[in-house]
Structure 1
Amino acid sequence: MATTSSSKPSSQSLAERGVAALPSGLQPFARLMRLDKPSGAWLLMWPGFWSVSLATQASHLPSMTTLALFGVGSVVMRGAGCVVNDLWDKDFDRRVERTKSRPLASRELTPTDAVMLLGGLSGVGLLILLEFDVNSIVLGASSLSLVAIYPSIKRFSHWPQLMLGMTFNWGALLGWSVVCDGAVDWTAVLPLYVSGICWTLIYDTIYAHQDKADDLMIGLKSTAIKFGDQTKQWLSGFSLLMCSSLVITGVNTGQCWPYYTAVTITAANLIHQISTLNINDSDDCWRKFKQNTQIGWILFIGIVLSTYLKNRPNSDQRDNFKVISDNSKQPLSLSL
């Protein structure tokens, strides 16, 4: 994900300045990965962080090692997804003001360069995945088909944001599996996954309103085009479903007050975003899109505190959970 950037150093973000400080030969590869635009990596990371924290044993903090693996994996796989997207879209990107300076669209890099980078990123992603148990490896690898398919959806459907949501929120399923050695409590992770998909539909529809005129001109589709002037009503519906699904996850995992406080703050944040959104102002759409990283932090902190403050299960409850977890490790547990 990218946006236009000013040439004035003072207006550059920390990430943009970091990329600009790299050797000139590396800068196009960093920009192809969108390292100068880290919001997408954060948005990919949060569902995994939420899931890892929800699956953590009561009265404990989530494993920093697991969070670090998910964090690095999010940067790597978001970068890989951007490479795939730009390989698909390089001809379209040349015709859009906001994207014509991307490395492939501007011919700063060749498709061969991009494929080599993609191979390297995929290799790093595989090394991270191999740190997990077999069930989690299979579950994580199964998301690659979504990564490959997503860029094509905008050519024939108005719902590429739905496919992006399914892809970006796979960590909601994987996080729990990693913490519980391949066992998955579907009553917890499925509503969490649904809430993440709704969240993506919200922020990426807002994002897509920046490009709707260009998309209409070149024949690409998006939820921004489909919803049009009814965008706020649609986003309100997705917000309601997102927050309701988060409540279901909280009930099914026995969360306490910090979790529900975070969900309430999230709901208020979404209400403010949507009520003040100007879908015809690209700058406002970009600001609202970036605000969603705040929601990631709010929910993460709420989940961590809630898990830490929860009472530990007694020995009978732990034994029952072990039986459930052992049964969940059968191959059927990976059926979606």
Structure 2
Amino acid sequence: MTQQTAGSLPDTTAPWLLRLWPRAWWPYAQLARIDRPIGWQLLVLPCWWGATLAADAARTLPRLDHLGLFLLGSIAMRGAGSTFNDIVDRDLDRQVERTRSRPVASRQVSVARATAFLVTQALIGALVLFSLNGFSILLGLASLLVVALYPFAKRVTHWPQAVLGLAFAYGALMGWAAFMGSLAAPPLWLYAAAIFWTIGYDTIYALQDTRDDAIVGIGSTALFFGDQVRAGVGGLYGVAAGAAMLAVWTAGLGWAAYLGWAAFAMHCGWQVLRIDPSVPGRPLGLFRSNRWAGVLLWAGLLLDAALRAV
């Protein structure tokens, strides 16, 4: 179990990161999820997949400046999205045990100050976006509607994870577009893979809140699947793996990319076998493990790009 820092939230996973900030800034660090780096890690991985898939298709290595920009942009936009979510959900958050102590819900940060912080983070993300080519800029701007819709989806559907998937997976398109200046079949398949992967791992994450969500009236795929959640996540991951294979195949990649794909698929299968909501901490642990699932796929693409660039 992660040792908590005084003043940290119940679901903090890296309390030591809070100590890098002045104590007065901690609520803002929590708004940006600085103490939960898994969010930006899962956001940046599809970007790196797309950037490396494009480079590998062109038989060269991915551009380091693109990888760095996507990292910075993912941290900024993850923070902006989380801040927006906390502003919109402040009344709901007060009714859920895991979220009632969040800075806006607990009134540590006013809505006005949280909004100003949101704008600051969004401006950093905009600077990153406008560092890319024109096609990527237009593509990135088109994603803002999906991002804005996510906090409201849980109020009207049991599938808010699908909206999150559309937003979190968007980097697969952005990574390819930043390198190629256009889109093609491989990044579309990769985007589909990232969407279903995101829905799957966020369903696992939502298992933590099923009791409170049912009471408050919030929808989730965890509630939708109910006792069949293992089969549901297995199906989602199966589609993700199939789409990822099609991305590798249509891009004409080599054996190392397929090796990375196989490792990714096996990790997803391992998660499905271990799903058990009755084991305390199991859903959160499996959710966090997806950083390694994503890294495995990216490592295969990167190795393949390195081998084919020689």
1:237-276 to 2 correspondences below 5 Å: 237-276=235-274
| Residue of 286, 290, 300 corresponding to 1:292 | 290
1:4 CA drift (Å) = 8.8
Paired with 1:288 and 1:201, the residues of 2 have a C-alpha distance of 14
Contact 1:273 1:288 in 2 (8 A): yes
Amino acid at match of 2:61: L
Decide which structure has the larger Cα Rg and report it. 1
1:262 CA drift (Å) = 1.2
TM-score, with length taken from structure 1: 0.87
Paired with 1:217 and 1:280, the residues of 2 have a C-alpha distance of 19
Paired with 1:8 and 1:27, the residues of 2 have a C-alpha distance of 11
1:103-122 to 2 correspondences below 5 Å: 103-122=103-122
Paired with 2:167 and 2:5, the residues of 1 have a C-alpha distance of 33
In the alignment, does 2:51 pair up with 1:52? yes
Amino acid at match of 1:201: I
1:124-155 Cα shifts (integer Å, max 9, x gaps): 11111111111110100111111110000000
Q: What secondary structure, in the 3-state scheme, does the structure 1 residue paired with 2:84 have?
A: helix
1:201 CA drift (Å) = 1.1
Amino acid at match of 1:38: P
Paired with 2:165 and 2:293, the residues of 1 have a C-alpha distance of 16
1:222 CA drift (Å) = 0.3
Stretch of structure 1 that moved more, 54-63 or 159-168: 54-63
1:76-118 Cα shifts (integer Å, max 9, x gaps): 0000100111011111111111111110111110000110001
1:266 CA drift (Å) = 1.4
Which residue number corresponds to residue 77 of structure 1? 77
Paired with 2:303 and 2:153, the residues of 1 have a C-alpha distance of 39
In the alignment, does 2:59 pair up with 1:67? no
1:161-194 Cα shifts (integer Å, max 9, x gaps): 00000000111111111111x2222x10111011
Which residue number corresponds to residue 152 of structure 1? 152
Residues 122, 93 of structure 1: alpha-carbon distance in 2 compared, 3 angstrom cutoff:
same
Q: What secondary structure, in the 3-state scheme, does the structure 1 residue paired with 2:128 have?
A: helix
What percent of counterpart residues are identical?
37
Q: What secondary structure, in the 3-state scheme, does the structure 2 residue paired with 1:157 have?
A: coil
1:14 CA drift (Å) = 8.2
TM-score, with length taken from structure 2: 0.94
Q: What secondary structure, in the 3-state scheme, does the structure 2 residue paired with 1:229 have?
A: helix
Q: What secondary structure, in the 3-state scheme, does the structure 1 residue paired with 2:281 have?
A: helix
Paired with 2:216 and 2:12, the residues of 1 have a C-alpha distance of 31
Structure 1 stretches of 5 or more lacking a match?
A: 313-336
Q: What secondary structure, in the 3-state scheme, does the structure 2 residue paired with 1:211 have?
A: helix
Which residue number corresponds to residue 176 of structure 2? 176
Amino acid at match of 1:310: R
Paired with 2:125 and 2:84, the residues of 1 have a C-alpha distance of 15
Contact 2:189 2:246 in 1 (8 A): yes
Stretch of structure 1 that moved more, 188-197 or 264-273: 264-273
Contact 2:159 2:219 in 1 (8 A): yes
Paired with 1:130 and 1:311, the residues of 2 have a C-alpha distance of 29
Residues 7, 16 of structure 1: alpha-carbon distance in 2 compared, 3 angstrom cutoff:
closer
Structure 2 stretches of 5 or more lacking a match?
A: none
Which residue number corresponds to residue 330 of structure 1? none
Paired with 2:201 and 2:214, the residues of 1 have a C-alpha distance of 20
Paired with 1:4 and 1:159, the residues of 2 have a C-alpha distance of 30
Q: Flag as ranges the 4+ runs of structure 1 deviating above 4 A.
A: none
1:87-98 to 2 correspondences below 5 Å: 87-98=87-98
Which residue number corresponds to residue 16 of structure 1? 15
Paired with 2:22 and 2:237, the residues of 1 have a C-alpha distance of 43
Aligned length: 307
Q: What secondary structure, in the 3-state scheme, does the structure 1 residue paired with 2:289 have?
A: helix
Paired with 2:235 and 2:214, the residues of 1 have a C-alpha distance of 25
Amino acid at match of 2:147: V
Which residue number corresponds to residue 164 of structure 1? 164
1:18 CA drift (Å) = 2.1
Paired with 1:148 and 1:35, the residues of 2 have a C-alpha distance of 21
Amino acid at match of 1:85: N
Contact 2:44 2:171 in 1 (8 A): yes
Which residue number corresponds to residue 328 of structure 1? none
| Residue of 207, 218, 221 corresponding to 1:220 | 218
| Residue of 4, 7, 21 corresponding to 1:6 | 4
In the alignment, does 2:254 pair up with 1:230? no
Amino acid at match of 1:249: A
RMSD over aligned Cα, in angstroms? Answer: 2.1
1:243 CA drift (Å) = 1.0
1:22 CA drift (Å) = 1.3
Paired with 1:14 and 1:282, the residues of 2 have a C-alpha distance of 15
Contact 2:5 2:16 in 1 (8 A): no
Q: What secondary structure, in the 3-state scheme, does the structure 2 residue paired with 1:56 have?
A: helix
Paired with 1:116 and 1:207, the residues of 2 have a C-alpha distance of 29
Paired with 1:20 and 1:64, the residues of 2 have a C-alpha distance of 30
